[in-house]
Structure 1
Amino acid sequence: MDAFGQFLDFLDSILGGSAWFPYVLLGVGFFFTIYLKFPQVRYFKHACKVVTGKFDKKGNEGDTTHFQALATALSGTVGTGNIGGVALAISIGGPAALFWMWMTAFFGMTTKFVEVTLSHKYRVKTDDGTMAGGPMYYMDRRLNMKWLAILFAIATVISSFGTGSLPQINNIAQSMEATFGFEPWHTGGVLSVLLALVILGGIKRIAAITSRIVPLMAAVYIVGALGVILYNIENIGPSFASVFTNAMSGSAAAGGFLGASFAYAFNRGVNRGLFSNEAGQGSAPIAHASAKADEPVSEGMVSILEPFIDTIIICTITGLVILSSGVWSEKFDTQFERSSMTIIQGQYSEGNAQQRESLYQYLNGGKEHDIELYNGNIEVAQGKALSNDFTILHSRSIGEDISFGITERHVYTGIVEVKNGRLVDNSISIRGKSLVHSAELTTKAFTRGFFGDSGQYIVSIGLLMFAFSTAIAWSYYGDRAMIYLLGSRSVMPYRVFYVAGFFWASFADTTLVWKLAAVAIVVMTLPNLFGIFLLRKEMKESVDDYWKKFNSEHNADDQNPNKGDDKSSMRVNESN
């Protein structure tokens, strides 16, 4: 697993963790925002009307309503990214990471508008009478790039595990164990059975369930979050200030947090923003392709609401809970995760300014440091090291009160071998005080409000509904990709593997799962961004045609707020 984790680190370093990827993702969104004249602002009100069914027509082909398609797509995006993903971004990038999540969402509203419109336009009806769509269909049917369509479909299947299945149940199991003491594999077993029962019913059952879960889970989570935000209301102003002041300079060291450079906060903020709202990834278009609509652009407008709800509302609330409560820079007693842990040579202290600066440089990829990875043996008696010639870094902080064990209940006595900063013996565990991340950090934050320790139950319940609904939606994305690749007969074997992977991830290494998700997302995103950019002119023509048709149909009735010439009417409707 250590070797696999290092391999994922390498892939992430040249893909999502690279210097160029955030610029590509934001660049495409920025380009379409300018090219289409800020559709995320001009069409927002109109999108709200479309999703309510105001302009629906009888007889439109499709499997779901606009709202059900939006709910299914939201269930695929509103998940651990909103609870664990935001916490992870802040824990490694500081407050500045939240700013870049916002930027990803703002430009992502346009990116999603484009990808959903084009995918809906080239959707097809499958052998069983349901609709199938997604970027692979416009790549194949419009661009005549079957090789790119196949690459995207394969990446979708991989990402359905890396985004939809593995990290979701992993965070659920982690939260349920921390809150209620349930064994992870017990949680995974029960939810795996429920997942299988839901996804066997296809898109109609999925849409029916998600359209009920999404509003409920959002309401429960927001109420709990407001209990923390209002309790720490005096910290909201400083929290917002830290997000903006650190946006261009990186996040300074605070408490146990050793600091993050601009490049690191920017990269992680954009990366986690993508994981949260999936704008540009090409996943949501698969759900929206099922919507009953004769105008692809209208469904594209509905998708504008997704990044707004997902990131600008829910992720911001999570971020404010974490920042205002102050837990993001506090150390807690925790089990150290091997993938988040490095052992370095020498004894380092946060109180030593020179040593802290050296650690900052090391953690942020700088060259001005004297950090060396530890190689050698550590003698341990009753769980405590007998020497102090090493320092354990965990979750971008210095570990304290270190204890070695075989299990959480049995301390270790003997020799611990360390090679290149990693434990050689996988059976040895380390526990101590350090910063925490992901769902555990959000759980800690929710206990710092009016609900006290009971706040952790809100996170557990919210995470359970968020993440489980995400797993449901992503199973649909994966089986649509399998239909494109191998036909309808491949769907059932895929679902079996999907459920099996879901169960396995309930007791797997948290950080390892997140690393796999980060790589899978980028492998899926790049072909989609390339494809929609090639179709930029067609997208603009489709939007113009939509408004001409809309105005001609609604000029004569009361639904059109401005009766008049086509140009005036178009301007009014564009603003609506």
Structure 2
Amino acid sequence: MWGTPLVILLCGGGLFFMVYSRFTPFRYFGHAIQVLRGKYDDPDDPGDINHFQALASALAATVGLGNISGVAVAIAMGGPGAVFWMWVSAFLGIATKFFTCTLSIMYRGKDSEGHIQGGTMYMIVEGLGRKWKPLAVLFAIAGLFGPLPIFQANQLTQALREIVYIPNGWVTEQAHFTGDLITGLIILAIVSLVIFGGIKRIGKVASRMVPAMVILYMGIVFVILGIHIDVLPQYLKLIVTDAFTAQAALGGAVGQIIITGFKRAAFSNEAGIGTATLAHGAAKTKEPIREGLVAMMGPAIDTLLVCTLTALSILVTGVWRTGDENGIALTAAAFGEALGPTGPYLLILCVAVFAFSSLFTYSYYGTKCFGFLVGADKQKYYNYFYVISIIFGSVTTISAVINLIDGMYAVMAIPTMTVALLLAPKVMDAARDYFSRMDTFKIYK
């Protein structure tokens, strides 16, 4: 499904949003930061969580193992040039997130229990009308499977197995099923403690975990880059040149590199996929544009910052040349090359924090989609399916996991981009109104 048409939809749609908005989102980053800091928070506004918790919840899902092993998979499959197309996707994703998450507030609906809800399926029904409901149902069905925790569980289990269990003789490379199963059960227990508390508990946990994990990871990677500072410029250049020539790529043709970069970026920052609309749609606000501005910061933090750091650590250490397509093993090799025996264990710490932050938020996405399909009173039952899938992810192969997740993300992107493109004029009308009021009262500066 991740062929040229879908890449054109995401890339072309993002380019349209960027040009159509006349780069408006990029001009108001300062105001977005003020909104994020709570300057305009009103506890009486409709919604469940504040702006910061909404962004933290969305980032908890995006700043995860896609940034650690997903980037490694992109480089292994498409070479250094794939990173450049991840950057392009991120810039386009900033505009896409602004439009989609503005709509998530503008066209909130009510679930079967009368509670205000946001997300792509409500944007479609409330914004386009009931006749478009089949498109909303398509998104919701894919949303049951796309956010499953199987990738995070798989990569966390694999990291523990290869970095801790096997080196210490607890399991062997041939006989590790029991160890993986035990790890899966432990992950299941920890995740269950958080997700059954709903979005308010998830938001509180995410708002504490996300800043700490990003700072920790950045600090470690900066040390790696400092050790290899002499080769850093040449790899920055290689990322750009390889994106167009593909001469140094392990993955082949330029077109395939572009698809690889966009696919992995979509899994990382989820711009245009629609999952973030579910988190941002829960924000406490009456101003849709404010949430759009907060949401657009996601791809900048996730892809332009965190993913770039991972990519550079893999490139400057030279481990990308091994041809290993095992994402977590490739990143672990980079940490080990630069930091010695301590490196992989530091990565394990980052992997654990990143994985659990994603595991917590993804459950909320699935419950909202399930509630839309069968009723809000039954959405809690999705969490049982969710935690059981952790066991599947822990013991299955990475290829099976990636194929399922990528397929469902592709399906989710179609309804999300369709509704965003059709309702783009509504977003710009709201933006002109909002920024004219901000300019009049000079309160955004």
TM-score w.r.t. structure 1 length? 0.73
315-324 vs 173-182, greater mean Cα deviation: 173-182
**1:327 aligned to 2:327?**
no
The residue type equivalent to 1:159 in the other structure is G
Mapped contact 1:281–1:528 kept (Cα < 8 A): yes
Find the counterpart in structure 2 of residue 195 from structure 1. Answer: 191
Q: Match for 1:440 among 329, 338, 343?
A: 329
Find the counterpart in structure 1 of residue 285 from structure 2. Answer: 293
Q: Match for 1:470 among 358, 361, 366?
A: 358
The residue type equivalent to 2:133 in the other structure is K
Equivalent positions of 1:146-545 (< 5 A) are 146-161=133-148, 165-181=149-165, 183-252=179-248, 257=250, 259-330=251-322, 435-449=324-338, 451-545=339-433
CA-CA distance at 1:251 after TM superposition: 4.1
Rounded to whole Å, the distance in 2 between the matches of 1:44 and 1:501 is 38
Mapped contact 1:221–1:458 kept (Cα < 8 A): no
| 328 and 560 in structure 1: CA distance in 2 versus 1, 3 angstrom threshold | closer
Mapped contact 1:173–1:187 kept (Cα < 8 A): yes
Q: Match for 2:118 among 121, 129, 133?
A: 133
Mapped contact 1:220–1:458 kept (Cα < 8 A): no
Find the counterpart in structure 2 of residue 71 from structure 1. Answer: 56
CA-CA distance at 1:186 after TM superposition: 1.6
CA-CA distance at 1:128 after TM superposition: 6.1
What are the ranges of 5 or more consecutive residues in structure 1 without an aligned counterpart? 1-14, 331-396, 398-434, 562-576
CA-CA distance at 1:20 after TM superposition: 2.6
Q: Match for 1:36 among 21, 34, 43?
A: 21
CA-CA distance at 1:469 after TM superposition: 1.2
Cα shift readout 1:323-349 (whole Å, capped 9, x = no counterpart): 00000002xxxxxxxxxxxxxxxxxxx
Find the counterpart in structure 2 of residue 383 from structure 1. Answer: none
SS in 1 for 2:207: helix
Find the counterpart in structure 2 of residue 568 from structure 1. Answer: none
Find the counterpart in structure 1 of residue 71 from structure 2. Answer: 86
Find the counterpart in structure 1 of residue 175 from structure 2. Answer: none
Rounded to whole Å, the distance in 2 between the matches of 1:229 and 1:67 is 30
Rounded to whole Å, the distance in 2 between the matches of 1:126 and 1:530 is 22
TM-score w.r.t. structure 2 length? 0.94
Mapped contact 2:31–2:444 kept (Cα < 8 A): no
Q: Which has the larger radius of gyration?
A: 1
522-531 vs 39-48, greater mean Cα deviation: 39-48
**1:47 aligned to 2:32?**
yes
What are the ranges of 5 or more consecutive residues in structure 2 without an aligned counterpart? 171-178
Rounded to whole Å, the distance in 2 between the matches of 1:99 and 1:454 is 30
CA-CA distance at 1:142 after TM superposition: 1.6
Rounded to whole Å, the distance in 1 between the matches of 2:304 and 2:33 is 16
The residue type equivalent to 1:523 in the other structure is V
CA-CA distance at 1:191 after TM superposition: 1.0
SS in 1 for 2:4: coil
CA-CA distance at 1:125 after TM superposition: 4.5
Mapped contact 1:82–1:314 kept (Cα < 8 A): yes
Rounded to whole Å, the distance in 2 between the matches of 1:487 and 1:226 is 47
**How many residues matched?**
431
Mapped contact 1:72–1:210 kept (Cα < 8 A): yes
CA-CA distance at 1:306 after TM superposition: 0.2
Find the counterpart in structure 2 of residue 343 from structure 1. Answer: none
Find the counterpart in structure 2 of residue 57 from structure 1. Answer: 42
Structure (1 or 2) with the greater helix fraction: 2
Cα shift readout 1:138-187 (whole Å, capped 9, x = no counterpart): 101120111111111111112122xxx11011000000111110722121
Rounded to whole Å, the distance in 2 between the matches of 1:48 and 1:276 is 22
Rounded to whole Å, the distance in 1 between the matches of 2:422 and 2:100 is 12
Rounded to whole Å, the distance in 2 between the matches of 1:22 and 1:249 is 20
CA-CA distance at 1:318 after TM superposition: 0.2
Mapped contact 2:235–2:315 kept (Cα < 8 A): yes
SS in 2 for 1:307: helix
Equivalent positions of 1:108-123 (< 5 A) are 108-123=93-108
Cα shift readout 1:38-84 (whole Å, capped 9, x = no counterpart): 13421212111110011223421221111010000000111111001
Rounded to whole Å, the distance in 1 between the matches of 2:212 and 2:115 is 28
Structure (1 or 2) with the greater strand fraction: 1
Mapped contact 2:113–2:377 kept (Cα < 8 A): no
Rounded to whole Å, the distance in 1 between the matches of 2:284 and 2:145 is 28
Cα shift readout 1:216-269 (whole Å, capped 9, x = no counterpart): 11122111111211111111111101101111122425xxx4x52211111100
Mapped contact 1:250–1:263 kept (Cα < 8 A): no
The residue type equivalent to 2:195 in the other structure is I
